[in-house]
Amino acid sequence: MITVSINKEQRLELEQFRALASSKNSEKALIVLLSSEGKSVSQIADTLKRNPHTVRDWLKRYNADGLKGLSRKYSPGRPDEKRAKLKDHIREILLDSPIDHGYKDHVWSVPLIVYDAASKLNLSVSGDTVTRALNDMGYSYKRPTKTVPARAPTKKEKAERIQSMIEEIKGILSKGETEIYALDESHFSTEPYLVRGWFKKRWPPQNKDKLQKRKSHILWMLKLNDTTILLEAIKAV
């Protein structure tokens, strides 16, 4: 039979821990407090609607490590091989698009990861297990934000390019009568919208170069005698 014996100072620490901790950790502190009041494991389990094994486990952790034992996510010792295998698999497949693995989806979802792990590794896991693994690895489910790619020209480079085009046009105009056609800029998108998916927190930066979805095309057409010259400038938006 597992019991916990605490003094007044330890009781105060547990009560403070319970008041400030999350609901899950607060319940762990309550388990210890109830045990210190003489409640048995089965009585605590019935009161809190928990498995007796869970109650017994948290009492053991408190007896071994005090409050630190209640804060620890997982028990010390050898890591779960199944969980480690799942995380390795997730880490590998999230480097690619699902399309690269033969799926029609453009982003990885929890059900798709569950199916992929089962089909490739014969690993049977629940959606909750996959979600916890993703959160532990620093991933969150969100819609990515479009950003200017890392290779986009600076303002200075843009200004220099525009000035270069102006000088080029002036040179053409100086050669004689020239017809000038001015066109407004146009936009196109290779991907009209971005769907939600599992991405690293603070994502991007690692995929900035892949997010250049929209560009502005500025076209200049000059007609010199019978020769038509098309100048094209591209800038990222």
Q: Give pLDDT tens digits for 211-225.
A: 444 444 444 555 555
Percent of the chain with pLDDT over 70: 66
pLDDT at residue 84 greater than cutoff 60: yes
- When mean pLDDT is compared across 18-32, 62-76, 151-165, 223-237, the lowest value belongs to 223-237
Does residue 48 belong to any structural domain of this protein?
yes
Q: Are residues 184 and 222 in the same domain?
A: yes
227 is a domain residue: yes
What's the domain count of the chain? 3
Domain holding 22, by residue range, is 8-71
Nearest by Cα to 106 from 97, 94, 118: 97
Q: Which residue has the higher pLDDT, 111 or 25?
A: 111
66 shares its domain with 100:
no
The reported pLDDT for the residue numbered 237 is 38
For residue 130, the SS3 value is: helix
Give the residue from 23, 47, 71 where a domain finishes. 71
Contacts of 26-35 spanning 24+ positions with Cβ under 8 A: 28/58, 28/62, 28/70, 29/70, 31/55, 31/58, 31/59, 32/4, 32/6, 32/58, 32/59, 32/62, 32/70, 35/2, 35/3, 35/4, 35/59
Q: Which residue has the higher pLDDT, 156 or 232?
A: 156
Confirm whether 61 is domain-assigned.
yes
Comparing 117-131, 144-158, 171-185, 192-206, the range with the smallest average pLDDT is 192-206
| pLDDT above 90: residue 115 | yes
* pLDDT the model gives residue 214: 44
Which pLDDT value is given to residue 183?
66
Stretch 82-101: mean pLDDT? 88
Q: Which residue has the higher pLDDT, 170 or 182?
A: 170
Query: Residue 175 has what pLDDT?
Result: 77
Residue 96, pLDDT score: 86
Are residues 167 and 230 located together in one domain of the fold?
yes
Q: pLDDT category, 188, cuts 50, 70, 90?
A: low
On the question of a cis peptide bond just before residue 144, with omega within 30 degrees of 0, the verdict is no
Residue 108 forms part of a structural domain: yes
- C-alpha distances (whole Å) from 117 to each of 73, 128, 163 are 24, 14, 55
One domain for residues 159 and 232: yes
Residue 49 domain-assigned? yes
pLDDT digits 0-9 by tens, 41-50: 999 889 988 8
Any domain includes 175: yes
- The C-alpha atoms of residue 80 and residue 93 are separated, in whole angstroms, by 20
* Whole-number Cα distances in Å, 29 to 11, 36, 49, 59, 63: 10, 11, 15, 9, 12
Question: Among 48, 71, 94, where does a domain finish?
Answer: 71
Cβ atoms within 10 A of the Cβ of 134, count?
20
What DSSP string describes 161-228?
HHHHHHHHHHHHHTTS-EEEEE---EEEESSS----EEEETT--STTGGGG--EEEEEEEEEEETTEE
Model confidence, pTM: 0.38
Q: Are residues 66 and 92 in the same domain?
A: no
